[in-house]
Structure 1
Amino acid sequence: MKTVLAAVSALALLAAAPGPASAQDWSLEKAAAPYKGTQLNVVFLDRPGYRAIIKLLPEFEKKTGIKVNYEIVPYENSREKQVLNFTAKGDLTMALVDLVWIGEFAENGWIVPVETFTKDAAITDPKLNLPGFFPLLLDAFGSWGGKVYGLPFDNYSGLLFYNSCKLKQAGFDKPPATWDELLKTYAPKLTNADKKEYAYALQSLRGETQSADSFMRVLWPFGGSLLDKSFRSNLKSSASQAGLKFRQDLMQYMPPGIVSYDHAEAVNALAQGQVAMITEWSAFYSTLTDPKTSKITDCLAVAPEPAGPAGRLPALGGFSLAVAAQASEKEQKASWLFIQWATSEEIAKPYVEAGGVSGRMKIYEDPQIRATYKFVEPMVASWQKGVPEFRPRFPAWPAISEVVAEWGTKMMLKEVSTEQGADEIGRRMEDVLKKEGYYDGKKPLLQ
Structure 2
Amino acid sequence: MKRLNKLAVSAVALATATACMSSTALADWLEEAAKPLAGTEISGIFLDRPGYRAIIKLLPEFEAKTGIKVNYEIVPYENTREKTVLNFTSQGDLTMALVDLVWIGEFAENGWIDPIENFTSDASITDPNLNLDGFFPLLLNAFGSWGGVTYGLPFDNYSGLLFYNSCMLKDAGFEKPPETWDEVMNVYAPKLTDASKNQYGFALQSLRGETQSADSFMRFLWPFGGSLLNAEFKSNLLSPESQAGLKFRQDLMQYMPPGIVSYDHAEAVNALAQGQVAMITEWSAFYGTLTDPATSKLGDCLAVAPEPAGPAGRLPALGGFSLAVAAQASEEQKKATWLFIQWATSEEIAKSYVEAGGVSGRMAVYEDPAIKSQYKFVEPMVASWQAGVPEFRPRFPSWPGISEVVAEWGSKMMLGEVSAEEGAKQIGTRMEDILTKDGYYDGSKKLLQ
What is the match of residue 387 of structure 1?
Answer: 389
Paired with 1:323 and 1:189, the residues of 2 have a C-alpha distance of: 51
Structure 1: distance between partners of 2:313 and 2:390:
12
Mapped partners of 1:384, 1:416: distance in 2: 37
Secondary structure of 1:298's aligned partner: helix
- Matched AA of 2:42: L
Preserved CA contact (<8 Å) 1:272 1:294: yes
CA offset digits 1:183-211 (Å, max 9, x no partner)? 11111110111111111111111011100
Local SS of the residue matching 1:430? helix
Flag the 1:65–1:439 CA change in 2: closer, same or farther, 3 A: same
- Determine the structure 1 residue equivalent to 2:353: 351
| Distance of 2:354 and 2:90 partners within structure 1 | 36
Alignment partner, residue 21 of structure 1: 21
| Aligned partners of 1:66 and 1:334 also within 8 Å | yes
Partners of 1:74 and 1:205 in 2: CA distance: 14
**How far does residue 132 in structure 1 lie from its aligned partner after superposition?**
0.6
Deviations 1:42-72 (A, max 9, x none): 1000110000000000000000111111111
**Runs of 4+ that moved beyond 3 A:** none
CA contact (8 A) 2:223 2:313 kept: yes
CA displacement, residues 147-190 of structure 1 (integer Å, 9 cap, x when unaligned): 10000000011000000000000010000100010011111110
Matched to 1:183, the amino acid is M
Contact 2:315 2:388 in 1 (8 A): no
Given candidates 83, 88, 91, the residue that maps to 1:89 is 91
1:42 corresponds to = 44
* TM-score w.r.t. length of structure 2: 0.98
1:99 corresponding residue in structure 2: 101
CA RMSD of aligned residues (A): 1.0
Cα distance, 1:142 vs structure 2: 0.1
CA distance in 2, matches of 1:10, 1:358: 25
Aligned-partner Cα distance in 1 for 2:367–2:2: 27
Which of 245, 255, 266 is the matching residue for 1:243?
A: 245
- Alpha-carbon contact 1:20-1:122 (below 8 Å) kept: no
Report the AA paired with residue 22 of structure 2.
S
Give the aligned residue type for 2:73: E
2:9 matched residue in structure 1: 10
- Residue matched to 1:73: 75
Q: CA-to-partner distance for each residue in 1:183-241, whole Å, 9 max, x for gaps?
A: 11111110111111111111111011100000000000000000000000000000000
Whether contact under 8 Å (1:12, 1:131) holds in the other structure is no
Where 1:236 maps in the other structure, the secondary structure is coil
Contact kept? 2:289, 2:295, Cα under 8 Å: yes
Equivalent residues in 2 for 1:164-243, closer than 5 Å: 164-243=166-245
What is the percent sequence identity of the aligned residues?
78
Q: Is the 8 A contact 1:8 1:131 kept in 2?
A: no
Structure 1 segment 301-380 matched on structure 2, within 5 A? 301-380=303-382
Structure 1, 83-92 or 16-25: larger mean CA deviation: 16-25
The SS at the match of 1:17 is helix
What is the match of residue 428 of structure 2?
426
Q: Secondary structure of 1:332's partner?
A: helix
2:66 alignment counterpart: 64
Taking the TM superposition and a 5 Å limit, the aligned residue runs for 1:278-289 are 278-289=280-291
What per-residue deviation string (whole Å, max 9, x for no partner) do you get for residues 57-115 of structure 1? 00000001111111111111111110011011001000000000000000000000000
SS at match of 2:298: coil
- Find the residue that maps to 2:386 and give its secondary structure: helix
Asked if 1:295 is matched to 2:297, the reply is: yes
Identify the range of structure 1 (225-234 vs 376-385) with the bigger mean alpha-carbon deviation: 376-385
Q: How far has the Cα of 1:23 moved from its partner?
A: 5.7
In the alignment, the residues of structure 1 paired with residue 15 and residue 77 of structure 2 have an alpha-carbon distance, to the nearest angstrom, of: 36
Secondary structure of the 2:392 match is coil
Query: SS at 2:119's partner residue?
Result: helix
Task: Give the stretch that moved more between structures: 109-118 or 18-27.
Answer: 18-27
In structure 2, C-alpha distance between the alignment counterparts of 1:85 and 1:438, rounded to whole Å: 27
Distance 1:23 1:146 in 2: 34
Contact 1:4 1:139 survives alignment (8 Å): no
> Which AA in structure 2 matches 1:88?
S
- Return the alpha-carbon distance in structure 2 between the equivalents of residues 6 and 135 of structure 1: 15
The farther-off stretch of 20-29 and 379-388 is 20-29
Distance in 2 (alpha carbons) for counterparts of 1:219 and 1:5: 31
| Structure 1: runs of 5+ lacking an equivalent | none
Corresponding residue for residue 165 of structure 2:
163
Aligned to 1:266: 268
In structure 2, distance between residues paired with 1:360 and 1:23: 25
d(CA) in 2 for partners of 1:23 and 1:137?
Answer: 32
**1:438 corresponds to:** 440
Residues 316 and 388 of structure 2 are in contact (CA less than 8 Å); yes or no, is this contact kept in structure 1?
Answer: no
- Opposite residue 424 of structure 1, the aligned amino acid is Q
d(CA) in 2 for partners of 1:22, 1:439: 54
Q: Please tell me whether the aligned partners of residues 413 and 420 of structure 2 are also in contact (alpha carbons under 8 angstroms).
A: yes
Structure 1, 91-100 or 26-35: larger mean CA deviation: 26-35
Asked if the contact 2:142/2:390 (under 8 Å) is kept, the reply is: no
Q: Which runs of 5+ in 2 are unaligned?
A: none
Please list, as runs of the form range in 1=range in 2, the aligned pairs for 1:101-180 lying within 5 A after superposition. Answer: 101-180=103-182
Tell me, in whole angstroms, the C-alpha distance in 2 between the residues paired with 1:194 and 1:3. Answer: 59
Cα offset, 1:20, TM superposition: 5.1
TM-superposed deviation, 1:34: 1.0
**Cα distance between partner residues in 2 of 1:268 and 1:341:** 32
- Residue 418 of structure 2 is aligned with which of 416, 419, 424? 416
Matched residue SS, 2:125: coil
Distance (Å, rounded) in 2 between the aligned partners of 1:11 and 1:288: 39
TM-score, with structure 1 as normaliser? 0.98
